[in-house]
Structure 1
Amino acid sequence: MTRLGGLALAALLSATALPVHAAEVEFDLAHWLPPTHPVHTLGVEPWVKSIAEASNGRIAINIFPASQLGAAPDHYDMTRDGIADIGYVNPGYQAGRFPIYSLAEIPFHVKEVKKGSGALHEWYAKYAEIEMPEMKFCLINPHDPGTIHANTEIKVPEDFRGKNIRPAHATMARFVSMLGGSSVQVPAPEAREAITRGVADAITFPWNSIYIFGIDPAVKYHLDMPFYISSQMILINKAKYDALAPEDKQVIDDHCTPEWSMKFSEGWADNEYSGRQKMIDSGEHTLYEPTEDEVQLWRDAAAPLLDQWKADVKAAGQDPDVIYDEYRQALEASGSLY
């Protein structure tokens, strides 16, 4: 199918695509989550509406959810190549491609994301110009810290051994392998099938996504700690952005700020955290809160991930110690450091 035909079909299929009005500039925004997902309803839609209002209707953004323009791991290249003008991108779906930003994937650094999303934005903005030069870096959208959900109890790192685990991103996949588990690497929309068919024994996910993706009947045991984040981005095709009139660039710039990263992320964060209480109230799930000693076991087990990250960043010609200090300082200043 041609891109033109695909866009026409997507517009017909998507009840959520914004109506096209007379506008001077149109963008196609692609993401891979269902249109009922809080990222769509509480993040994407309010952001798109605000841009339309701020530009007095000059800028129209058409939304194509649910992988209508391409698979989840393809969204960076889709946006770079102009298949989409704006992409919702998970950098962690492509191992080794964005070594600096993969620091955000290392567990036990981020304890909350409402303010932490702004801190991540402030920290990474200058490095995006190095790692993603084809893009206009716009927003960072981490989920509320996720954890391990399994069909048997997982309390300490040793419990990973021999398990098949769906990791959130490349760094978590490395962690699973380090601890003697096997990674079942599928994007979030395909996670339910992996779990329900028994291909995976456990999954790294935020709390309410277990319900959103219908995985709750298959995983009844949960590690009750802020384990990791998966941090998505809104990126804009650089050529499309560069072609904008100055007043339209300003509108986009005003919507690509740390403050907007926080606005974009807060609704999803609240929604995800609500899943934890939902599990408690259901009486059907077992949540295990690790002891201080067990938390330290997890921290110690993850230490080699940071060592590998530093080696990767150094190989890319950057100073990992400076970058790591900036990262921790940004999180600490926002009250988000674990």
Structure 2
Amino acid sequence: MGKVRIKVLFFVLSVMVVLIGCSGNSTGSNEYVYELNFNIQSNTTHPFYTEAIEPWAKFVEEETDGKVKITVYSSSALGTLDTAYEDIKGGVYDIGYVSPMTNIDTDLFPLSIGDLPFAFTDSLDVMKVMEKYRDNFLTEMSDQAVWMTISSTDAYQIYSNEPIKTIEDLKNKKFRTEGPYNIDLVKHWNSVPVSINYVEMYEAMEKGTVDLTEYTSIGALGFKLEEVSKHLTKIDKNVAQLLFLMNGSAFNNLPEDIQKKFEEVLNPKLGELIGQLYHTQSADSIKTFEEKVKDKGGSVIIPSEEELKEFKKPSKEIWDKWVEEADKRGYQGQEMMDYFLETSEEEGISKPF
């Protein structure tokens, strides 16, 4: 009799363990729910979250009939952009985005061509060109990370307290910037590059550690740069590409039909939402900045075509250096550049020099 009781008790406990183990990952209809963590750098009031990431998370849940749930972690809660590529590959979180410009010493180097000065000015163009480009030249990406889509921020502008109308106005100015290409360009402009992370640029401008900074017009409002600068010089210097990736194991754990749904519907939708956000709101952000600084004598400065050519002129040397660097790394640098220029031209994008 004692043995029977023990068997019954063991059976009951086994059932309880199974039920407890399944409760957190099943719907009311007992269908398994795949929960994916999405780490972003912006806070929950930024348009990046409210108009792109949050709607996409809801779209995913609707399109998969609740089988996939996206949990968004804002304000770099699970990791910063500097370590994003390693974090995604290592499974610190399931979905995130990386900057090719800050990962040039990885297998993402081929994509850094899109971060060159004056290569792109519009986020929608990035997706059109770079999706084609990666099919040809990003052939060795780690299987620990799965390509979702690529987009970008809006274009970078110059923020300063003294008006910057021509390249001569930049001479000997302390210029906050990041990344090897941007540092090279600033040097060509006879400015003094100061490599400070964007999260510290408000304080750097406020304290006078730097004379000016570069940033996107949408992002600048988020950081309230109108409080520490009076002028915006619109030169559309470059964009910061955003490569969205999913952890390889997380992707492989999804059923084949859901994998296909991501590839054909969900990933393109994410790129579309990001692209549209930065494409449509840039002009309004510049106008808002102008309104906010008007009372303190601030302005938005738009250089003439001739003045803009002077800003762009040094970019040729930097693009040529990229080809040389690609060759050193074992790539066919000129072939990659030729394809990039040809594809860009097909999309109506002219080279800057």
TM-score normalised by the shorter chain: which range applies?
Answer: 0.7 to 0.9
Paired with 1:286 and 1:20, the residues of 2 have a C-alpha distance of 54
Paired with 2:94 and 2:342, the residues of 1 have a C-alpha distance of 33
Paired with 1:43 and 1:132, the residues of 2 have a C-alpha distance of 27
1:75-224 pair list within 5 angstroms: 75-97=84-106, 98-224=108-234
Which amino acid is the alignment partner of residue 311 of structure 2?
A: W
Q: C-alpha displacement at 1:269, in angstroms? A: 2.7
Q: State the TM-score, normalizing by the size of structure 2.
A: 0.82
Paired with 1:315 and 1:217, the residues of 2 have a C-alpha distance of 44
Which amino acid is the alignment partner of residue 205 of structure 2?
A: I
Q: C-alpha displacement at 1:257, in angstroms? A: 5.1
Bigger relative contact order (CA 8 A; separation at least 6)? 1
Which amino acid is the alignment partner of residue 305 of structure 2?
A: E
- 5+ residue gaps, structure 1, are 1-18
Closer, same or farther: CA 169–47 of 1 in aligned 2, 3 Å: farther
* Residue among 33, 38, 46 paired with 1:29: 38
1:1-338 pair list within 5 angstroms: 22=27, 23-97=32-106, 98-255=108-265, 260-282=270-292, 283=294, 284-337=297-350
Aligned pair count?
320
Closer, same or farther: CA 86–134 of 1 in aligned 2, 3 Å: same
Paired with 1:269 and 1:206, the residues of 2 have a C-alpha distance of 12
Moved more, 207-216 or 76-85: 207-216
RMSD, aligned α-carbons: 2.5
Paired with 1:315 and 1:266, the residues of 2 have a C-alpha distance of 36
Paired with 1:310 and 1:99, the residues of 2 have a C-alpha distance of 11
Q: C-alpha displacement at 1:220, in angstroms? A: 1.5
- 5+ residue gaps, structure 2, are 1-23
Which deviations, in whole Å up to 9, do the C-alpha atoms of 1:290-331 show, x marking residues without a partner? Answer: 233222222221221101100111112222222222222333
**Greater percentage in helix:** 2
Paired with 1:132 and 1:266, the residues of 2 have a C-alpha distance of 29
Paired with 2:346 and 2:270, the residues of 1 have a C-alpha distance of 18
- Structure number with larger C-alpha Rg: 2
Mapped contact 1:43–1:268 kept (Cα < 8 A):
no
Q: Paired residue for 1:8?
A: none
Closer, same or farther: CA 32–106 of 1 in aligned 2, 3 Å: same
Closer, same or farther: CA 50–90 of 1 in aligned 2, 3 Å: same
Closer, same or farther: CA 261–81 of 1 in aligned 2, 3 Å: same
